[in-house]
């Protein structure tokens, strides 16, 4: 008896991952690169690839295939498999958990894999029952299933047959933090890797941010073990069999046009290379590009006369206080106090700077004695300048690196600043993008200036 159309579609969906997605997700906007992407995942699902890395730009359907649809497909073929899905946080991982459950619960799915089912009750645990909750689900009767955890979470108890790692880093700020990268590596070494066995498969799928992320480390140590597939947002080079686009053509032009991508590239070339082109090489050499300079301060338009001050944390640190004019677009540096002198001297010098530059608001970091410094300065400029303090809790290295282009684009110095503040000039213009910098006070304050908006409120007023 010949098969009807539905039976043919079901049979194809059982055999091939691309057809599985088309059947369970009929509204998918299927582009050429999706077919390529799904094809690679099908090879992984069939066991022909053991370790796979796929790097793809954001909002291109990455997680829909690798993390929402692939686990149900794998469990349909082998409901005894034990799958672990890992993301940057427990809430993100639990969201994947719920989405996987929804796929398995659909009639579409049961058309294809009727024997792979979850418990009908969504409860944490039942004696003798099948587990189904926000962190772990078991396949009824067969005992396989999936766990979802955030980086740092536990995978104890059982071996992992398939490890899927999706978005291990939340964003650039975390990926550029050496501490965060080390934490991810330590978790992989001490938790994830200990649950793998000889036949385990691994899939890493995320956007590259840094060359020393987990993928970068694994590729340096065991490159021969991994299959790597890269989809760039803008095509580089001539058409190939794997990528038929012309050079410069967008990967998904109807959603992310070439014009849109080029604007992103112009705004921040380094971030674009990592986020969209999957080329996470750190910026080489100096942190900052060439700065804008002026010979005459602006005297028209709506101007804010502001100050940002960071007191010295240790004996060798510099107090850095910069008074500037904010036009809403550019920040024109008026004058600077940059010194290693003790607070007995820097307090009156900073107060004099505020008065001399007609600063109306001063923001002083309250870390390591900054609050007492701010109170002393405030008493000296009472009625002239509003002085406030705040605690800076974000990682300094990450802040500086993330805002490097904003500093170069927005800060404007006097044309003779190398003469007026020679030490400050040397520390700024020689600040390295990679490696240890002896003095970071200048870069910290310049970063603070571009972070703070003109209308930002301070905690105390005098």
CB atoms inside a 10 Å sphere around CB 17:
23
Residue 125's pLDDT is 46
Q: In terms of DSSP bridges, do strands 145-150 and 51-55 run parallel, antiparallel, or are they unpaired?
A: unpaired
- Domain ranges within the chain, ordered by starting residue: 5-231, 292-451
Residue 457's pLDDT is 45
pLDDT in tens, 255-268: 999 999 999 887 77
Contact 202, 248 (CB under 8 A): no
Banded pLDDT at 454 (limits 50, 70, 90): low
Q: How far apart are CA 75 and CA 240, in angstroms?
A: 35
CB atoms inside a 10 Å sphere around CB 122:
12
Q: How far apart are CA 179 and CA 70, in angstroms?
A: 31
* Residue bearing the bigger pLDDT, 156 or 337: 337
Element (DSSP H or E) covering residue 273: helix 269-275
Statement: residue 338 has pLDDT above 70: yes
Name beta bridge partners: 86.
149, 165
Residue 121's pLDDT is 52
Contact 156, 84 (CB under 8 A): no
Residue 462's pLDDT is 47
Query: b or e along 165-178 (b: 16 or more beta carbons within 10 Å of the residue's beta carbon)?
Result: bbbbbeebbbbbbe
Give the dihedral sign, CA 418/419/424/426.
Answer: positive
Statement: residue 64 has pLDDT above 90: yes
* Residue bearing the bigger pLDDT, 395 or 91: 91
Statement: residue 434 has pLDDT above 80: no
> What topology does CATH give the domain 5-231?
Rossmann fold (3.40.50)
Looking at the domain covering 292-451, what would its CATH class be?
alpha beta
Question: What's the start-to-end Cα distance of the chain, in Å?
Answer: 89
Helical spans, DSSP H, in 62-123:
62-63, 70-77, 90-105, 107-112
Mean predicted lDDT score pLDDT of the chain: 89
Residue percentage of the chain with pLDDT more than 70: 93
Q: Which of 144-148, 197-201, 331-335, 416-420 has the lowest mean pLDDT?
A: 416-420
Q: How far apart are CA 444 and CA 397, in angstroms?
A: 9
Of residues 82, 90, 235, 211, the one with CA closest to residue 147: 82
Residue 268's pLDDT is 74
Put the strands of the sheet holding 51-55 in their side by side order.
136-138, 145-150, 82-87, 160-166, 196-206, 51-55, 227-230
Residue written as tokens 């600043």? 417
Banded pLDDT at 43 (limits 50, 70, 90): very high
Enter the pTM of the model.
0.65
DSSP string, 11-74: HHHHH-HHHHHHHH-TT----HHHHHHHHHHHHHHTTS-SEEEEE--TTSSHHIIIIIIHHHHH
Contact 203, 432 (CB under 8 A): no
Residue 368's pLDDT is 67
Statement: residue 1 has pLDDT above 80: no
Give me the torsion for CA of 61, 105, 150, 226, rounded to 10°: -50
Q: How far apart are CA 346 and CA 114, in angstroms?
A: 75
């Amino acid at each position: 008896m010949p098969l009807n159309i539905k039976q043919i579609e079901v049979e194809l969906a059982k055999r091939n991952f691309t057809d599985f997605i088309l059947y369970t997700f009929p509204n998918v906007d299927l582009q050429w690169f999706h077919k390529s992407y799904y094809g690679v995942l099908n090879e992984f699902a069939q066991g022909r690839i053991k370790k796979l890395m796929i790097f793809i730009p954001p909002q291109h359907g990455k997680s829909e295939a690798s993390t929402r649809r692939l686990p149900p497909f794998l469990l349909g073929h082998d409901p005894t498999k034990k799958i672990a899905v890992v993301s940057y946080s427990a809430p993100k991982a639990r969201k994947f958990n719920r989405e996987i459950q929804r796929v398995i619960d659909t009639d579409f799915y049961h058309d294809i894999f009727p024997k792979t089912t979850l418990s009908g009750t969504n409860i944490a645990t039942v004696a003798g029952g099948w587990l189904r909750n926000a962190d772990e689900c078991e396949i009824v009767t067969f005992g396989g299933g999936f766990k979802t955890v955030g980086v740092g979470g536990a995978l104890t108890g059982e071996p992992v047959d398939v490890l899927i790692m999706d978005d291990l880093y939340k964003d650039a700020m975390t990926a550029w933090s050496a501490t965060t990268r080390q934490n991810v590596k330590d978790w992989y070494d001490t938790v994830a890797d200990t649950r793998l066995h000889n036949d385990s498969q691994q899939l890493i799928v995320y956007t590259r941010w840094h060359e020393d992320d987990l993928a970068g480390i694994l590729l340096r140590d065991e490159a021969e073990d991994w299959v790597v597939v890269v989809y760039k947002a803008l095509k580089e080079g001539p058409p190939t069999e794997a990528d038929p686009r012309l050079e410069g053509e967008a990967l998904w032009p109807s959603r992310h046009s070439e014009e849109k991508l080029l604007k992103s590239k112009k705004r921040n070339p380094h971030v674009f290379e990592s986020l969209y082109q999957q080329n996470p090489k750190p910026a080489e050499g100096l942190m900052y590009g060439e700065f804008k300079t002026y010979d005459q301060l602006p005297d028209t338009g709506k101007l804010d006369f502001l100050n940002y001050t960071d007191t010295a944390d240790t004996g060798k640190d510099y107090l850095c206080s910069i008074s500037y004019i904010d036009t809403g677009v550019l920040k024109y540096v008026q004058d600077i106090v940059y010194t290693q002198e003790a607070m007995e001297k820097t307090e009156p010098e900073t107060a004099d700077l505020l008065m001399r530059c007609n600063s109306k608001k001063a923001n002083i970091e309250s870390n390591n004695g900054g609050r007492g410094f701010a109170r002393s300065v405030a008493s000296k400029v009472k009625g002239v300048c509003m002085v406030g303090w705040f605690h800076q809790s974000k990682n300094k290295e990450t802040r500086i690196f993330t805002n490097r282009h904003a500093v170069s684009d927005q800060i404007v110095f006097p044309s003779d600043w190398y003469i007026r503040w020679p030490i400050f000039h040397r520390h700024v213009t020689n600040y390295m993008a990679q490696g240890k910098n002896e003095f970071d006070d200048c870069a910290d304050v310049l970063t603070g200036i571009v972070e703070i908006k003109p209308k930002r409120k301070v905690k105390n007023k005098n």
